[in-house]
Amino acid sequence: MDTTSPVGRTALTALAPIVWGTTYVVTTHMLPDGHPIFAALMRALPAGLLAILITAKLPRGSWWWKSLVLGTLNMGAFFPLLFIAAQHLPGGAAATLGATQPMFVAILAVWILRERLSGWRTLWGFVGIVGVAMVVLGPGAGIDATGALAGIAGAASMSTGVVLTKKWGRPEGVAPLALAGWQLTGGGVVLIIPALLIDGVPADIGLRAIAGYAWLGIIGALVAYTLWFEGIRRLQVTATALLGLLSPLVAAGLGAVVAGEELTSMQIAGFALALVAMVAGQLVPSRREPVIGRVAAASHTGVDRIRSSGRRHQGGSP
């Protein structure tokens, strides 16, 4: 696959939400119970420090505070809000609220990036939310106010981080891995005190938990965020955000496989609808020039040719 083409870059960026879709299974089956903020800390800080060690690159100038802001929005605030939503809501409801992120990105891109609101991608954003809801919402899914607010705040937090990542770009000469490391470290620093005061260190960290933390940190954070931030930099930001629909779909699929449950026809239809929305959101509908405009353009071209021909016969310059 040619990763320098738009299709190749999109496919490479899509690996990030696919990996994030494994977070729920890894958290519930490999990590100690009751320590969600500590898990968020272990996902961010070690991976960030490892990236800085590998690249031997520290932020300079304004990138000290930019890294802290982006790290807080994309990880430091987002991770705890995500866990709070998951604790107070059924998994399906939390995933559906998370699927609203492309809509937040579309609105923020107008305000922060001065982009025109794309009706095409907004439409498919709504369709994607419906598709995810069909997959993950059960008949008994209830809505808790605390969980709903946390879910919406989490989606808004990461959406703001995504748009600011697009706005600020990447410093010249800095590798994507280094940029991801700065943000992960910034987010991890923000999480240190809440993790230690609220959760504390689990007493039963075994080999299974270490493997889980390693997966979430190295693959789920360091690798995934490196791909994600580079995709945001190179691709259209709202279209890239629609790739995030893959995360709840992968989580639901893995949950069904692990639990041995069969997907219903409604869930299968939801999968198809969400995937169609994600793919359609990557496309730009062609805008045909109105017939009157084409006729006028042709007329002007004909007149220009006649004038040019006349100038040549009169010795004028072409």
Catalogue the E-assigned strands of 42-151.
Answer: none
| Count of beta carbons in the 10 Å neighbourhood of residue 209 | 17
Q: Is 143 helix (H, G, I), strand (E, B) or coil?
A: coil
Alpha-carbon distance 137 to 218, whole Å? 30
Domain extent listing, the chain = 6-287, 290-318
Alpha-carbon distance 96 to 131, whole Å? 9
**Interior/surface letters 112-122, b for 16+ CB within 10 angstroms, e for the rest:** eeebeebeebb
Q: Are 124 and 275 spatial neighbours (Cβ–Cβ below 8 Å)? A: no
Alpha-carbon distance 307 to 68, whole Å? 62
Give the model's pLDDT for residue 143.
63
List pLDDT tens digits, range 43-77: 999 999 999 999 999 999 999 999 999 999 999 99
**What's the whole-model pTM score?**
0.83
Sites in the chain below the pLDDT cut of 70 = 1-2, 90-92, 138-143, 259, 261, 285-318
Give the model's pLDDT for residue 90.
64
| Count of beta carbons in the 10 Å neighbourhood of residue 156 | 20
Alpha-carbon distance 154 to 75, whole Å? 10
